[in-house]
């Protein structure tokens, strides 16, 4: 991808390549502290870690920052590999001068700006965390998560959390459908009694994994359970509204003892898809795959066309109506 330059007002006349030449080390963004980005040096990052945290440089993105990524994306995200120039008066501080190309990413449309908000970069797996109850399980949100993971080249693993609580029948049906019909890897967990925690740790070994989900589903509690210590604050959900309260405010990367990394992200009540034309949405709903080649009109949006094989499969009960309704809602949102 062609390199682009991000420059701020008075810095426009500076030479981006000359600015980049000041970099003395490559590192990975592992967190955010106020307006500073926490960066671990590459040579230290690749070593085994006995502690979840490692020494970091507190960095700013100042002056001219060049990037190999699209102009529409967030300039910086946890998981990015960056080139850093030193701060003369403090070796533990630095200035980010270049962002290397992201190999994978988990992203959504920013709710406040016309940008693609990158939640985590260069991740191998996404733990899509959904509680079986409290707050209510949302198939529509899970479907959005699955599409976003595939868009960004990230392997999805669906985590059904809080299985220590009674599981509603409709959630049991959803678990069976996503696991058995769609062939997705699913992990059933409880941070209370420890169910599924060992499996989560095994899935994360040797990989960079991001936890994503709505507030209150238990992402931070699962992170704590994976490490056996309290790394992240947790809060009870609002019983009045049966939804979570925001606890994690910024993404943070933690090192597992043997190998692998876990990235915790803030709870997201909205997850709008980005960079996806409506007519391509059906290709991410793989339970449609056996049917859409038999639609009378191709391409077919499966919304209004006559003799649509996908809609016929819904009418016969071969595709659950809840799944098709989720598709329609996402399709409408993409059109807007």
Q: Does residue 297 fall inside a structural domain?
A: yes
Residue indicated by tokens 């040797």: 206
How confident is the model at residue 21, as a pLDDT?
75
Same domain, 75 and 154: no
Domain stop point among 52, 69, 99: 99
Residue found under tokens 């409709």: 170
Query: Same domain, yes or no, for 117 and 93?
Result: no
126 with 155: CB under 8 angstroms?
yes
- Please name the residue that has the structure tokens 């939804």: 243
Structure token pair of residue 204: 């994360």
Question: Mean pLDDT for each 10-residue chunk of the chain (336 residues)?
Answer: 40 56 89 92 82 91 89 96 88 91 97 89 98 95 98 98 97 97 97 96 96 95 92 55 50 91 91 96 97 96 97 97 97 94
CATH number at residue 201: 3.40.50.300
Q: Are residues 146 and 214 in the same domain?
A: yes
- pLDDT of res. 2: 40
Residues 125, 23 share a domain: no
Q: Could you tell me if residue 270 is inside a domain?
A: no
Read off the CATH number of the domain in which 84 is found.
2.40.50.140
DSSP string, 257-312: SSS-EEEE----S-----S--GGGGGGG-GGGTTTGGG-SSSS--SSS-TT-HHHH
DSSP output for 141-191: HHHHHHHHHHHTT-EEEEEEE-TTSPPPHHHHHHHHIIIIIS--EEEE--T
Residues 114 and 93 both lie in one domain: no
CATH code of the domain covering residue 326:
1.10.40.50
Q: Residue 233: what pLDDT? A: 60
Residue 272 lies in a domain: no
Strand positions, DSSP E, 69-165 = 81-87, 90-99, 105-109, 116-121, 125-131, 155-161
3-state secondary structure of 89: coil
Domain range for 137: 105-264
65 plus 213 within the same structural domain:
no
| pLDDT on residue 238 | 42
The residue with tokens 């993971």 is 149
17 and 93 in a single domain? The answer is yes
Residue 282 lies in a domain: yes
Q: What is the pLDDT of residue 18?
A: 67
* 323: in domain: yes
Q: In this structure, are 188 and 327 located in the same domain?
A: no
How many structural domains does the chain have? Answer: 3
Cis before 135 (ω within 30): yes
Query: Does residue 271 belong to any structural domain of this protein?
Result: no
Q: Specify whether 190 is located in the same domain as 132.
A: yes
User: Are 94 and 109 members of one domain?
Assistant: no
Listed residues 99, 133, 166: the one ending a domain? 99
Instruction: Indicate the DSSP class of residue 243.
Output: B
pLDDT of 64 reads: 84
Q: Domain for residue 60, yes or no?
A: yes
- Together in a domain, 46 and 160: no
Instruction: Examine residue 221 and state whether it is found in any structural domain, yes or no.
Output: yes
Q: pLDDT value at position 15?
A: 61
Burial of 48 (0-12, 13-18, 19+ CB in 10 A): exposed
Give 138's Cβ-side CA count (13 Å radius).
23
Tokens for 9, please give them: 């007002």
Please indicate, yes or no, whether residues 114 and 258 belong to a single structural domain of this protein. Answer: yes
Alpha carbons 100 and 51: distance in angstroms, whole number: 27
Quote the distance between the C-alpha of residue 285 and its chain's center: 19
The residue written with tokens 């992170």 in the block is 223
Query: Which of 99, 125, 142 is a domain's end point?
Result: 99
């Amino acid at each position: 991808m062609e390199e682009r330059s991000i420059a701020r007002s008075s810095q426009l006349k500076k030479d981006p390549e000359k600015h980049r030449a000041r970099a003395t080390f490559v590192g990975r963004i592992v967190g955010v502290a106020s307006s500073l980005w926490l960066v671990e040096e590459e040579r230290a990052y690749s070593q085994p870690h006995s502690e979840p945290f490692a020494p970091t440089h507190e960095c700013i993105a100042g002056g001219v920052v060049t990037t190999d990524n699209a102009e529409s994306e967030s300039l910086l995200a946890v998981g990015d590999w960056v080139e850093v120039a030193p701060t003369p008066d403090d070796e533990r501080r630095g200035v980010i001068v270049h962002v290397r190309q992201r190999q994978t990413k988990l992203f959504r449309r920013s709710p406040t700006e016309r940008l693609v908000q990158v939640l985590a970069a260069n991740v191998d797996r996404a733990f899509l965390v959904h509680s079986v109850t409290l707050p209510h399980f949302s198939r529509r949100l899970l479907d959005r998560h699955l599409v976003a993971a595939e868009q960004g080249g990230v392997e999805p693993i669906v985590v059904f959390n809080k299985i220590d609580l009674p599981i509603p029948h409709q959630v049991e049906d959803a678990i069976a459908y996503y696991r058995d019909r769609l062939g997705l890897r699913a992990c059933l967990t409880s941070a209370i009694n420890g169910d599924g925690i060992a499996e989560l740790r095994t899935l994360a070994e040797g990989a960079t994994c991001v936890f994503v989900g709505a507030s209150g589903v238990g992402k931070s509690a699962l992170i704590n359970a994976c490490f056996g210590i309290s790394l992240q604050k947790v809060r009870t959900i609002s019983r009045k509204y049966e939804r979570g309260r925001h606890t994690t405010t910024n993404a943070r990367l933690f090192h597992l003892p043997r190998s692998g990394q876990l990235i915790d992200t803030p709870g997201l009540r909205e997850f709008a898809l980005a960079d996806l034309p409506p007519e391509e949405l059906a290709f991410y709903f793989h339970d449609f795959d056996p049917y859409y080649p038999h639609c009378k009109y191709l391409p077919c949006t499966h919304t209004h066309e006559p003799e649509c094989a996908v809609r016929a499969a819904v009418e016969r009960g071969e595709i659950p109506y809840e799944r098709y309704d989720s598709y329609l809602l996402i399709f409408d949102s993409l059109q807007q």
